[in-house]
Amino acid sequence: MIDIKLIRENPELVRENIRKKFQDEKLPLVDRAAELDRANRAAINEASELRAKRNQLSKKIGMLMGQAKKDPSKLAEAEEIKAEVKADGERLGELEALETKYEAELREVMMKIPQIIDPSVPIGPDDSHNVEVQRFGEPKVPDFPIPYHTEIMESFNGIDLDGARRVAGNGFYYLVGDIARLHEAVLAYARDFMINKGFTYMIPPYMMHGAIVEGVMSQSDMDAMMYKIEGEDLYLIGTSEHSMIGRYIDQIIPASTLPHTLTSYSPCFRKEKGAHGVEERGVYRIHQFEKQEMIVVCRPEESMEWYEKLWRYSVELFRSLDIPVRQLECCSGDLADLKVKSCDIEAWSPRQQKYFEVCSCSNLGDAQARRLKIRIKDENGKIFLAHTLNNTCVAPPRMLIALLENNLSADGSVRIPEVLRPYMGGKAELTKAPNVI
């Protein structure tokens, strides 16, 4: 959510930002916000004047009532002023109701106006205009066919999709044996990787109130992603950064404690609406998965520096697992409304012979902080909004696809990267299972 001052002082900047995001249908919101803001300020000013007038008249009434003991005519004058105060009180009540109405309507409109994007963001209408920035590691295509990722898992008796469909429907899975263990090894390694970078490990609530959901994401994202708990003001989290950022709602953070660098584990629950291609079946796009996340709360002037650090941590982690990756800069039309700047880290798929998304790094500027009232108090007592950032550390279902494909051998075995072996009981490879469960 942007600052209303931007609309007051530079509405064309806000309109141009909307155009850059190819959301022209939102252009009327700028004028509507300006109109509501003017009406609200007029109501506030009139109410302030009436309160000041009421205070003056109340003093005058008191003085006249005191004088009425000696001069009865003063009593009639006091009664006239009382009638005026009563009328002003009724108008004040109307104005206070209008203030509440205007503020609610203005907030609703402002929540729909996208955050001002960083000047470095490439302009384009959708993800087909995202820009490759750089590659890390040499993508390779082996001289033997690579099976679909669920087939690789099945060769180790490592996945049961049919059983999951019977229990929960499509979009769920059972992981079994060494594949389940590899899944947990990736999470544990990612946890320790981030701890070694100085991040504090946390496990957050897996549900959150509607006010937190509204504070951390746009309405469209909320409708597309979130599962609502029937009869409760609670939603299952779609990603842990939401409840992690929600932790700071209505807080004033001493600047001396910043930055807050956190890494959180959680299961994630998502509707994942819409049809997807064959390569997004299996465990690529699912309703439930687990993830290790990076979160930073910092001073505004430090957020771009942290943005660079976060996506580079993802590259370092994936390269330590012998997985080639690339950084893809998200264009304006592919940015969620709360984001100032974002990039994806994509892993190489030898099977598809292309890259696919495994991490998303975002600088949200003060958007979440403004909605949730997350503020910083500096050494001089000045209070201002924090900046928030997040980045996927690992989401093992997709990570597993990249890891299995890039470490698969011609005989069907999978080499376990050296950094994961301590988490796998020292195993150096997975070998095909002789039997099927």
- 155 is known as an active-site residue: no
Contact 374, 387 (CB under 8 A): no
Candidate list 357, 413, 415, 421, residue with the active-site label? 357
What pLDDT, on a 0 to 100 scale, did the predictor assign at position 277?
46
Under 8 Å between Cβ of 367 and 3 = no
Name the band, by pLDDT with cuts 50, 70 and 90, for residue 437. very low
Q: What's residue 53's pLDDT? A: 81
How many CA atoms lie within 13 Å of 207's alpha carbon, on the beta-carbon side?
9
In the predicted model, is pLDDT for residue 156 greater than 50?
yes
Helices 303-320, 177-196: crossing angle, 10 deg rounding: 140
Instruction: Please name the residues in contact with 247: beta carbons below 8 A apart, sequence gap of 6 or more.
Output: 204
270 is catalytic: yes
**Is pLDDT at 241 greater than 60 in this prediction?**
yes
Q: Length of the chain, please?
A: 437
Give the model confidence (pLDDT) of 75-93 as tens digits: 767 767 778 778 878 888 8
pLDDT surpasses 90 at 219: no
> What phi-psi label fits residue 216: left (phi over 0), alpha (psi between -120 and 50 degrees) or beta?
alpha
pLDDT for 139 beyond 90: yes
| pLDDT over 50 at 364, yes or no | yes
Mean pLDDT rounded to a whole number for the chain: 92
Active site residue 360: yes
* Contact between residue 247 and residue 205 where contact means Cβ atoms under 8 Å apart: no
Q: Who's near 87: CB < 8 A, 6+ residues apart?
A: none
Identify whether 166 is a catalytic site residue.
Answer: no
pLDDT at 157: 94
Which of 164, 179, 275, 268 lies closest to 225, judged by CA?
A: 268
Q: What is the predicted pLDDT for the residue at 86?
A: 81
Beta strands in 147-206 (DSSP E): 159-160, 174-175, 200-202
Q: 20 vs 42, 124, 237, 337, CA distance in Å?
A: 32, 8, 30, 12
Q: What is the mean pLDDT of residues 43-56?
A: 86
Overall average pLDDT of the 22-27 stretch: 97
Catalytic residue among 191, 247, 270, 370: 270
Burial code (b: 16+ CB inside 10 Å, e: under 16) for 28-61 equals: ebbebbbebbebbeebbebbeebeeeeeebeeeb
Select which of 107, 285, 299, 415 is catalytic: 285
At residue 341 the predicted structure's pLDDT band, cuts being 50, 70 and 90, is very high
Check pLDDT > 70 for residue 68.
no
Q: Cite the DSSP H helix spans in 226-275.
A: 240-246
Q: Tell me which H or E stretch contains 426.
A: none
Whether the bond into 142 is cis, omega within 30 of 0 = no
User: How many CB atoms within 10 Å of residue 241?
Assistant: 28
Q: Identify the structural domains of the chain with CATH numbers, from first to last.
A: 4-110 (1.10.287.40), 127-430 (3.30.930.10)
Please check the confidence at residue 242 and state whether its pLDDT lies above 90.
Answer: yes
CA atoms within 13 A on the CB side of 68: 14
- 254-306 pLDDT, tens digit per residue, is 999 999 999 999 999 998 754 444 445 678 888 999 999 999 999 999 999 99
pLDDT of residue 412: 95
pTM: 0.89
